[in-house]
């Protein structure tokens, strides 16, 4: 069992107060986020046909929850891991204009997730996607959107402080940009996770760029599916989280693959067979818009702003009996 138990932990807010704070943060953030990023809320699926190629393969090893439907007996249906591909397809299907976009409340099941303070089998996040021009597929565009998201998160800190001054977590005033190769160069003797911890502890908040491809040591910093993010134009928003003395990832995002990047990354992953799937064909044939997008963890954001010790304090999920007992003994009230 991987579990961090802070000494003398005080959740500050009662379970009822926490539930009210969760609703306030979620309602307020999505309104401010949509307005700042020029996004409208849309409805999204909980499951998709396996044959569509729309499900997120994550690192390629996790198995989605799947089933068949009475009315579609020959179609394997999968609970989504995320909506990374579905959103881009939706922008094309719904006819979104240049620089317009969407966001949705995404709920997913990741049954193979290793459970700890930050990871749950139940995933809830705001998935978002926006249309951009091909010539805007640049690091400058990526950085600008990261700064916008950080601005909204900082604004939420102030909003929460007004209502819950006794519970709010103070966040850094700026976000620092750094690449995965720069992290390796700076901390060559540390593991990828240790590098993230060292950098976020130093700067408070970083955007770790260029994740998925192999570094100079022949290894990847972290796995990324080859068919949505462009590995040269993506990254994670990471905060140093003092209550747990570790890095807390709030968002994974990036500029999406164009025709060339998709083929190149599929080739590197020995996954060229995916080019025959409907979604991938559309990209290769230039039938989908160029986009930027990502996900922002809803429970993770509530954790960050309210200084919670376990994600189970801000979402209802399933946890091993021994984890529940250890948390209860440590004064961590899991929902």
d(CA 58, CA 142): 21
* Element holding 273 (H helix, E strand): none
Contact 36, 151 (CB under 8 A): yes
CA-to-CA separations, 64 to 113, 275, 330, in angstroms, rounded:
11, 20, 33
- Residue 229 catalytic? no
* Element holding 295 (H helix, E strand): strand 290-297
- Name the active-site residue from 30, 120, 251, 252: 252
Q: List phi, psi (to 5°) of 255.
A: -80, 135
- Name the active-site residue from 116, 242, 249, 275: 249
- Name the active-site residue from 30, 120, 125, 265: 125
In the numeric block, which tokens belong to residue 3? 């579990």
d(CA 101, CA 87): 9
- Name the active-site residue from 196, 236, 251, 298: 236
- Residue 63 catalytic? no
Contact 174, 206 (CB under 8 A): no
- Residue 182 catalytic? no
- Name the active-site residue from 26, 78, 88, 110: 110
| Distant-in-sequence, close-in-space partners of 220: CB < 8 Å, separation ≥ 6 | 211, 212, 213, 214
Q: How many CA atoms lie within 13 A of 319 on its CB side?
A: 27
| Distant-in-sequence, close-in-space partners of 93: CB < 8 Å, separation ≥ 6 | none
- Residue 27 catalytic? no
Residues designated catalytic: 56, 110, 125, 236, 249, 252
């Amino acid at each position: 069992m991987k579990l961090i138990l802070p000494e003398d932990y005080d959740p500050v807010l009662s379970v009822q107060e926490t539930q009210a704070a969760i609703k306030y943060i979620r309602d307020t953030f999505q309104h401010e986020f949509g307005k700042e990023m020029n996004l409208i809320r849309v409805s999204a699926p909980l499951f998709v046909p396996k044959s569509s190629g729309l499900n997120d393969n994550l690192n390629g090893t996790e198995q989605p929850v799947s089933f068949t439907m009475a009315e579609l007996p020959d179609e394997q249906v999968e609970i989504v891991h995320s909506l990374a591909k579905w959103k881009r397809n939706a922008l094309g299907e719904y006819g979104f204009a240049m620089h317009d976009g969407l966001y949705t409340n995404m709920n997913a099941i990741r049954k193979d997730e290793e459970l700890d303070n930050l990871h749950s089998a139940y995933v809830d996040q705001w998935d978002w996607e926006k249309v951009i021009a091909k010539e805007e597929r640049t690091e400058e565009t990526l950085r600008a959107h990261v700064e916008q998201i950080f601005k909204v998160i900082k604004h939420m800190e102030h909003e929460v402080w007004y209502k819950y001054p006794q519970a709010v977590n103070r966040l850094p005033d700026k976000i620092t940009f750094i690449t995965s190769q720069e992290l390796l160069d700076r901390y060559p003797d540390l593991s990828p996770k240790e590098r993230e911890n060292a950098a976020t502890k130093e700067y408070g908040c970083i955007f770790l760029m260029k994740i998925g491809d192999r570094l100079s040591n022949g290894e990847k910093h972290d796995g990324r599916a080859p068919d949505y993010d462009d590995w040269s134009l993506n990254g994670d928003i990471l905060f140093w989280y003092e209550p747990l003395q570790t890095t807390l990832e709030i968002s994974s995002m990036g500029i999406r693959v164009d025709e060339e990047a998709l083929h190149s990354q599929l080739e590197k992953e020995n996954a060229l067979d995916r080019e025959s799937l409907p979604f991938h064909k559309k990209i290769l044939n230039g039938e989908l818009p160029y986009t930027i997008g990502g996900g922002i963890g809803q429970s993770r954001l509530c954790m960050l702003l309210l200084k919670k010790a376990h994600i189970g304090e801000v979402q209802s999920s399933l946890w091993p009996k021994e984890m529940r007992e250890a948390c209860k003994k440590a004064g961590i009230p899991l929902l």
